[in-house]
Structure 1
Amino acid sequence: MIDLHVHSNKSDGSYSPSELVDYAIEKNLSAFALTDHDTVAGLAEAVTYAKGKNIDVIPGIELSAENEGKEVHILGLYICYNNQTLSDKLTEFQTTRMERNEKMCQKMREAGLNITLEELVRVYPDAVITRGLFAKYLVATGQIKSMEVAFERYIGDHGPCYVPRAKITPEQAIALIHEAGGIAVLAHPPLYHMSMSKLDELVNRLKQAGLDGIEGIYTTYHQGEERDMKRLAIKYDLLITGGSDFHGTTKPKTDLAVGYGSLKVPDTILEAITARHSKILFTDLDGTLLTTDKKITSVTMDAIHDMILCGHKLVFSSGRPINSVLQVAKDYHFFGPGFYVSSYNGGLIYDCGAKKELLHAPIPMDAVRYLFDRAHEAGLHAHTYTATHVICEEETPELKHYLTHIKMPYLIADDVTTLLEEEPMKIIIMSLDSRQRLEAFRASLDDWAKDRLSSTFSSPMLLEYGSPAASKGKAIEFLSQHFSIPIDHTISAGDEENDLSMIKTAGVGVAMQNGIPMIKEAADYITLADNDHDAIAEIIHKFIL
C-alpha cells in the first residue's frame, strides 16, 4: 500500500519528516509522498533518513492556487526539490504568506486573542506558518478548546480574522511543478464544492495546461465521489493518485495510509504513475560516464541524484563483468532503488535496489573451448570470467593491461573450463597493437559464430563475444518491458561499437563527443561535451529533467 498525500511539521503537520518515515514503515507502506504546503523544507531529511530502509519517499509538494476566487490545490509528485526556479518561487510565497499572517495576527488580537507572528515563529521555527498552526497554537495556549473552533470562529474562509493571500493560478502551479521535473495532480476536487459540470470545465482547462493526474482516492470521498473522479481521469487520460492527507494531531481523525480507517491506495497506482512519468537512462561506463581517469565528476553525480529523486532510473550498461560494474556503483553510492546494471553487454541484468538478477544469458560451454583454441592458434590473448575472477590460460601483456582498468583478481589454468562452475557470460579476445588482427579473427569465425554467439568491439583492442540473446539494445527492450515504460522514454549514451545496438534501440540515442564515427552517425544527438566534461549531466538536463 502507498500514501501519496502526507504532511510534516515543516508545514502544518505534527510529525517530523523522519518520524513520518518510521510511521510509514510501521503502517507497512511501501512508499509515501511528502507533500507539504508550499515548501520543500522537509524533503531532504525524509529522503536521507529513508535510505537503507524498506520504504520509498517520493519528493512532493502541495501548491495553493486560486481559481475563480476559490482556493484549489495542485500536488507535485517526484519533484526535483533543489530546482532553482521552484526555490525562488517558494521564497516569494513565503514572503507573501508572512505578510498575510501578520495581518491575520493583528485581526485576531483585535478579536481579543493573544497571538503574535513572532511568537508563532518562535514556537514553530522550522515550519511554514499556516492557518493550521494558528489553530494549533491557540489550542496549546488554552485560548480555545479545539482547532475546529479556531476555524469556525476566527480563521475559516469566511471568518472575521481570515485574510486571503496572493496566489498563483492552477496553470502556473502546473508549470512550476513541470519546471521541477514533477507530475502535476489536481488534489481532492470534491472539497471545492463545485458542480460536476464546473469541475469538468476546470479539469478540461487544466488538462490543456499539462495536468497529469487527479486525486481519485482520498480520505473523505464516498463511493460516488471516487467513481466521479475516476471517470474524469478516464475521460481526460489522467493518472489516478490517492492519499490520506495525513497531518498527525492537526487532523486527529485522519491516519496515515488508512484515512478514516478504510482508505486503501494500492501499489498499482504508483506503478501506473511510474510507467507514465519515468524515463530510463542507459549509460556506458568507459569513455561515457567515467572520465579518462575513471572518475565520475561531482557535477554528473548531482545530475544523477536529481534524476533518481524525480522518479527516473539509471542503468549502468557496460561490457564489464558484473562485479566490476557493481564496484563503480558502490564507490559512488549509486546502489539502491532506481539503479540497475546491464553487464557483459546485456548478458546479465541486475537490480541494485532489490539486489537480484533480472536476466542471465550465458555462453555455451562448448563455445568457450572452441574460441580459446582458435584465439591461441591466431596468437591472440583470450580470457573469460567466473563470478569473482578473470580467468585465462596464460599470463600475457594484454592480461596485465586489462587488469589495470578492471581491478579484479585473476586465475590461470591450462584449461579455463576446469575453473568454470557455470557457463560464462562473455569471452574477450584482445590485442594491444592491432585491431586489424582482431577484425580478421572475427571474420574467420563468422560462419561458426552465426546464430551461436554475438561479437562486438568495446574498444579498438577488445573484441567481445557473448550470447546472441544479449546485447545492450536487447537490455533496453527487456527493461522497458519489465517496467512497462515505453521505449520512447528511454535514453542511451555511448561511445564505442558495443554501444551501437542501444543507440539504435533507445527512444533517444546519444553519441558522446568523443565517440567513434559509427556511433555518431547512428545517434539522434551528439553531446557538446566529452566524457571528461560532464556529457552525462548534459544529457540528463536536456532529455530527462
Structure 2
Amino acid sequence: MNVCYDLHTHTTASDGTLPPSVLVARAVAAGVDVLAVTDHDTTEGLLEASTAAKGSGICLVTGVEISVTWSGQVVHIVGLGFDPENKTLQAGLAELRRFRGWRAEEIGRRLEKHGISGAYEGAKGYSNGHLISRTHFARFLVEQGYAPDMRKVFKQFLTQGKPGHVAGEWADLGKAVGWIHGAGGEAVIAHPARYGMTRTKLRRLIGEFQEAGGAALEVVSGSHSRDEAFTMAKHSRDFSLRASVGSDYHGPETPWADLGKLSALPDNAVPIWRGWPDLAVSIPA
C-alpha cells in the first residue's frame, strides 16, 4: 500500500489561508495519509489540527518552519515530530515572533514613506493578528492594485533593494536545529533548490546543517522541478541525510503546490519516515 505524505503545509496560524481544521479536512479529501502542519515560527495551529485529525484516518505529525539567517541569506528549517510543549523551543520561537512583529511595523513605515498608506493595518487584516508576514503585505498590495499578482508584488516591493524590504535577523542555523533536536524532533532543510545558491554554497549549507545534527533535505517540494528533486536526492545521499516531501501548501490560491499531488521520491532516496513509529507526537489537549 502506498502512503501519501505531505510534511510541509501552512495555515492561518502563519501565512496560510485555511484554518488548521479546514486544512486537515482538505488533506483528508486529497488522500493525504500523513500530514505535518509547519507554520512559520509558531506551533499555534497544532492543537486545532490535532483535534480535527482525530477519527479522520489521517496521521498528524507535529511541525514548524523556523526562519534562519545563514551566510547572509534566509533559509527555512522544518522541524518534525517534536514535543510542542518544549520550553526551549517555544522560547526560541517566541523571540522570532517578536522580531516579526517589529519587522511588520517597519515594513508598514517604509511603504508609508513610499506613498502607500495603511499597509500595516491592511496586512494585519489578512493575518490572524498575531503573526504578520510579508505574504500578508503582498496580499494587501495586490488587493489595492499595486501589482497584478503575488510574485510580481514581491519583486516590486518586498525583496532586497525595494521599498518595503526589511532585512531579517533570524535564528542561527545551529540553534534552530538544536531547538528541534532538544524537543525530540528531526530537522529538515525546506525547499533547498529555491534559495538560488550556487552548488558550492548549497553544499556548504548542507554540510553545516548535517554537522549541527540535521536529519533530511526536502527533496520533493511544491516549488521543485523533477530535475531539482533528483539533484536534491543526490545531495542527501552525499551527506548521508534522509529525504522529505512537502507541498509547502498555503491555500487553494496556489494550485501548483496542492495537497496530495506530490511526485514520489527518487528511488535511491532514503525517506525521512523510515523508522518513524514513535515520531508522531500527540498534542496535549
The equivalent residue for 1:43 is 46
Query: TM-score, length-normalised on structure 2?
Result: 0.89
d(CA) in 1 for partners of 2:89, 2:253 = 27
Residue 160 of structure 2 aligns to a residue in which SS? coil
Figure out how many residues of one structure are paired with residues of the other and give that number.
Answer: 279
Residue 33 of structure 1 aligns to a residue in which SS? strand
**What per-residue deviation string (whole Å, max 9, x for no partner) do you get for residues 58-80 of structure 1?**
11011110111111111101121
Q: Which of the residues 159, 168, 171 maps onto 2:171?
A: 168
d(CA) in 1 for partners of 2:126, 2:233 = 41
d(CA) in 2 for partners of 1:41, 1:214 = 24
d(CA) in 2 for partners of 1:249, 1:113 = 28
The 8 Å contact of residues 14 and 128 in structure 2, kept in 1 or not, is answered as no
Amino acid at match of 2:22: E
Q: Which of the residues 250, 263, 282 maps onto 1:309?
A: 282
Q: Write the mapping of 1:165-314 to structure 2, written as runs, cut at 5 A.
A: 165-249=168-252, 251-258=254-261, 263-265=262-264, 272-276=271-275, 278-279=277-278, 308-309=281-282
The 8 Å contact of residues 136 and 250 in structure 1, kept in 2 or not, is answered as no
d(CA) in 1 for partners of 2:144, 2:237 = 48
Q: Write the mapping of 1:118-197 to structure 2, written as runs, cut at 5 A.
A: 118-126=121-129, 128-197=131-200
Residue 231 of structure 1 aligns to a residue in which SS? helix
d(CA) in 2 for partners of 1:243, 1:3 = 5
d(CA) in 1 for partners of 2:264, 2:13 = 24
Query: TM-score, length-normalised on structure 1?
Result: 0.48
Report deviation, 1:279.
Answer: 4.6
RMSD of aligned C-alpha atoms? Answer: 2.5
Report deviation, 1:200.
Answer: 1.7
The equivalent residue for 1:431 is none
Amino acid at match of 2:28: I
d(CA) in 1 for partners of 2:104, 2:179 = 24
d(CA) in 1 for partners of 2:172, 2:155 = 27
Residue 240 of structure 1 aligns to a residue in which SS? strand
The equivalent residue for 2:16 is 13
The equivalent residue for 1:104 is 107
**What per-residue deviation string (whole Å, max 9, x for no partner) do you get for residues 101-136 of structure 1?**
111101111112122534543552355211001111
Greater Rg over alpha carbons, structure: 1
Amino acid at match of 2:65: E
Q: Which has the higher strand share?
A: 1
d(CA) in 2 for partners of 1:54, 1:123 = 31
Amino acid at match of 1:173: A
Q: In structure 2, do the counterparts of structure 1 residues 165 and 220 end up closer, same or farther at CA, with 3 Å as the change threshold?
A: closer
Residue 272 of structure 2 aligns to a residue in which SS? helix
Q: Which of the residues 62, 68, 80 maps onto 2:71?
A: 68
1:86 aligned to 2:89? Answer: yes
Larger RCO, structures 1/2 (Cα 8 Å, 6+ apart): 2
d(CA) in 2 for partners of 1:180, 1:157 = 34
Q: In structure 2, do the counterparts of structure 1 residues 124 and 308 end up closer, same or farther at CA, with 3 Å as the change threshold?
A: closer
Report deviation, 1:278.
Answer: 4.8
Give 5+ residue unaligned stretches, structure 1.
281-306, 311-332, 334-545
The 8 Å contact of residues 2 and 265 in structure 1, kept in 2 or not, is answered as no
Q: In structure 2, do the counterparts of structure 1 residues 274 and 123 end up closer, same or farther at CA, with 3 Å as the change threshold?
A: closer
Which deviates further from its counterpart, 75-84 or 220-229? 220-229
Q: In structure 2, do the counterparts of structure 1 residues 59 and 308 end up closer, same or farther at CA, with 3 Å as the change threshold?
A: closer
Report deviation, 1:157.
Answer: 3.4
Q: In structure 2, do the counterparts of structure 1 residues 7 and 44 end up closer, same or farther at CA, with 3 Å as the change threshold?
A: same
The equivalent residue for 2:118 is 115
Report deviation, 1:225.
Answer: 1.6
Report deviation, 1:237.
Answer: 1.6
d(CA) in 1 for partners of 2:90, 2:21 = 22
The 8 Å contact of residues 29 and 55 in structure 1, kept in 2 or not, is answered as yes
The 8 Å contact of residues 217 and 242 in structure 1, kept in 2 or not, is answered as yes
d(CA) in 2 for partners of 1:149, 1:173 = 31
The percentage of counterpart residues that share the same residue type is 32
d(CA) in 2 for partners of 1:123, 1:204 = 38
